[in-house]
Structure 1
Amino acid sequence: MSTPTSLRYTESHEWVRMEPDGTVTVGITDHAQNALGDVVFLELPDVGRTLKAGENCAIVESVKAASDIYAPIAGEVIETNQAAVDAPESVNADAYAAWLFKLKPVNADDVTKLLDAAAYDKIADA
C-alpha cells in the first residue's frame, strides 16, 4: 500500500494535503479503501458547513460496510468532489487522486499536528 510522504494523516485513516492557497484537501487513505473493499457510495458534507476537528462529516459505503469520515482539522467546507460521488469506485482506483472535500482551515498550523507518513504506517500496520 502507498503512503505518500507529502501528505499528513489521521488515526481514523483520512489523508490531508495543504494546498498553496492555504486550503486543505481531504480524502481517505489507500489503507482505508483497501480495508473497505469496493466503494459504492459517498455522502459528503455540504459546502458552507463548519466542521470541528474530529467531527463525523461524511460516509463512505462499500460492499462490506459503511464507514464514517471525520474532519481532520476545524474549518469550513469550501468544495466537495462531485466526480468521486458520481464514480465512487474512483476511490478504490486511486485513493489519493479521488479526494473527498476541501476545507478553509480555522488554523492551518493544525495540519502540522497530524501524523506524518511514517507514524501513519505504524498505525495502519498495527
Structure 2
Amino acid sequence: MHNASRIAELAVASILFLVALTGALQLIGSTSFTIRQVDHANQVKDRNVRSTMEPIRSKPLTGADVILFISQLRENVELEVEGMSVKSPILLEDIQFNSISRTKQYHLHIERNEDGDIRKMIFR
C-alpha cells in the first residue's frame, strides 16, 4: 500500500512537472515571436535625421475653413484676409464674410511680437 501511494505521488509530480515545462516552453516561444516582431518593426523605421529649424508648413485652408476659424477665434489679434484688415478686438459684424471666396486655398502666416505672442494672422 505504501508503494502505491508513492507511485501516485510520483505520477502527480511528473504530470505537474510536464505541465509546468510545457507552459514555460510556450511562454518562451511567444516571447521570442514578440521580440522578432518588435525587431522587424524597428528595422523598417525611418532613421533619417531632419533639420527642424524650418518653419512648420501648414496645410492650405479653404475659404470656408477661414470663415469658421475667424468665427471661433477668441484671441485679440489683427486679421488680414483678401486685403481686408480687421483690428482687435474682432467683432464678427465688422468682417465682410462675403468677400472671402469659399473655394480659394489660403495659407496662414503668423506674425509675432518680441515676446512671441501672436500679433497678426494673415490668410494669403
Q: Shared fold by TM > 0.5? A: no
Question: If the length of structure 2 is used for normalisation, what is the TM-score?
Answer: 0.22
Q: Which has the higher contact order (CA 8 A, sep 6+)?
A: 1
Instruction: Judging by fraction of residues, say which structure has more strand.
Output: 1
Question: If the length of structure 1 is used for normalisation, what is the TM-score?
Answer: 0.22
Instruction: Judging by fraction of residues, say which structure has more helix.
Output: 2
Q: Quick check: which has more Rg, 1 or 2?
A: 2
